[in-house]
């Protein structure tokens, strides 16, 4: 029993240490005057790798989730004779919850694990060390562009996810199940508030983007430089980032929509 408690204590201390190192890494990467003009190409490349290459999975997932929402929602609403509320159902579910959260989870799995693996591998093959020895700060050159790429790309992906999902809902609800087209959009407009729903959803996805990107970068930077270590780090990124997103989602939802 005592051993378990000791282990728990050790794990907690380890987590706190990790948090401290992650903050150090972040400050080292972002503090001081930025030089984006010179490394413009680096930032663009990272936005491409992290954002553009995730487009496919986001588009397909958004479409299918929107369609499933419409399908499931219609069945339930029809029981109450409230089919005309399908639009708001799909829109609010996506904008407030599914858009930011599912995008974050998919992002953690696809882009987050790729970031961790890439940085871990750079560490294992001593590329980061040799950069240091050449008097180039690897935090500025490697970590910073990836950080900004993640924080910028993910909210954009969430917006696209939402839009595609709502269109998918329209496809199923209106074109397939026969809900009135005009009613779909007008009921939506009557019940979706820009500030309350759209903006809050964007705020959520920005917070999630920060969390996922920092976790991915930190796990890669801190990885044990062996193949086993990198594999462990990649797994940890996906698990930790996903749990953190879900946890923060609860907190944010309570704050934004709880009252």
Partner 1 sequence: MTSRKLELFVGFFVALAIAALLLLAMKVANTGVAGSDQSYQLLAKFENIGGLKVRSPVKVGGVVVGRVASIQLDPESFQPVVALDINSSYNNFPETSSLAILTSGLLGEQYIGLQPGFVDENVEILKNGDYIEDTKSAIVLEELIGQFLFNRGNQ
Partner 2 sequence: MEFGLDKPLVDIQNLTFRRGDRVIYDDMSMQFQRGKVTAIMGPSGIGKTTLLRLIGGQLKPDSGQILFEGADIPKLSRQDLYQARKKMSMLFQSGALFTDMSVFDNVAFPIREHTRLPEAIIRTMVLMKLEAVGLRGARDLMPAELSGGMARRAALARAIALDPQLIMYDEPFAGQDPISMGVIVRLIRSLNDALGLTSIVVSHDVAEVMSIADYVYVVAERRVIGHGTPDQLRQHESPLVQQFLQGQADGPVPFHFKAADYATELMELSR
- For 86-144, the three-class secondary structure string (H helix, E strand, C coil) is HHHHHHHHHHHHHHHHHHHHHHHHHHHHHHHHHHHHHHHCCHHHHHHHCCCCHHHHHHH
Residue window 88-127: x/- pattern of binding to partner 2, with contact defined by CB under 8 A: ---------------------------------xx--xxx
CB-nearer residue toward partner 2: 18 or 28: 28
CB-nearer residue toward partner 1: 239 or 254: 254
Tell me 83's DSSP state.
Answer: G
> Is-contact 53 155, C-beta < 8 A?
no
* Residue 130 binds to partner 2 (criterion: CB under 8 A): yes
CB-nearer residue toward partner 2: 132 or 193: 132
Token pair for residue 128? 């980061």
Q: Which option in partner 1, partner 2, none does residue 106 bind, with CB closer than 5 to 8 A by kind?
A: none
Q: Which option in partner 2, partner 1, none does residue 232 bind, with CB closer than 5 to 8 A by kind?
A: none
Please enumerate in sequence order all residues whose Cβ is within 8 A of that of 103, keeping only pairs 6 or more positions apart, or say none.
58, 154, 157, 158, 161, 205, 208
Residue window 170-199: x/- pattern of binding to partner 2, with contact defined by CB under 8 A: ------------------------------
| Interface with partner 2 (CB under 8 A) | 121-122, 125-127, 129-137
């Amino acid at each position: 029993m005592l051993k378990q408690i000791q282990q728990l204590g050790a794990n907690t201390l380890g987590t706190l240490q990790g948090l401290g190192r992650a903050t150090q890494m972040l400050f080292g990467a972002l503090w001081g005057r930025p030089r984006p003009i010179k490394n413009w190409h680096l930032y663009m490349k990272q936005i491409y790798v992290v954002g553009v290459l995730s487009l496919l999975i986001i588009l397909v997932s958004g479409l299918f989730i929107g369609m499933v929402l419409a399908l499931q929602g219609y069945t339930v609403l029809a029981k109450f004779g409230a089919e005309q509320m399908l639009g708001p159902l799909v829109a609010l579910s996506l904008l407030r919850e599914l858009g930011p959260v599912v995008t974050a989870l998919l992002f953690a799995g696809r882009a987050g694990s790729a970031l961790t693996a890439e940085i871990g591998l750079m560490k294992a093959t001593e590329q980061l060390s040799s950069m240091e020895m050449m008097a180039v700060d690897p935090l500025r050159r490697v970590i910073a562009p990836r950080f900004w790429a993640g924080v910028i790309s993910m909210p954009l992906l969430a917006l696209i996810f939402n839009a595609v999902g709502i269109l998918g809902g329209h496809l199923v609800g209106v074109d397939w199940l026969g809900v009135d087209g005009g009613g779909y959009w007008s009921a939506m407009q009557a019940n979706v508030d820009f500030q309350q729903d759209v903006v809050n959803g964007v705020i959520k996805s920005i917070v999630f983007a920060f969390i996922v990107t920092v976790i991915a970068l930190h796990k890669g930077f801190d990885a044990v430089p062996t193949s086993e270590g990198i594999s462990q780090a990649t797994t940890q990124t996906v698990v930790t980032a996903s749990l953190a997103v879900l946890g923060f989602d609860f907190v944010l939802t309570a704050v934004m929509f709880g009252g």
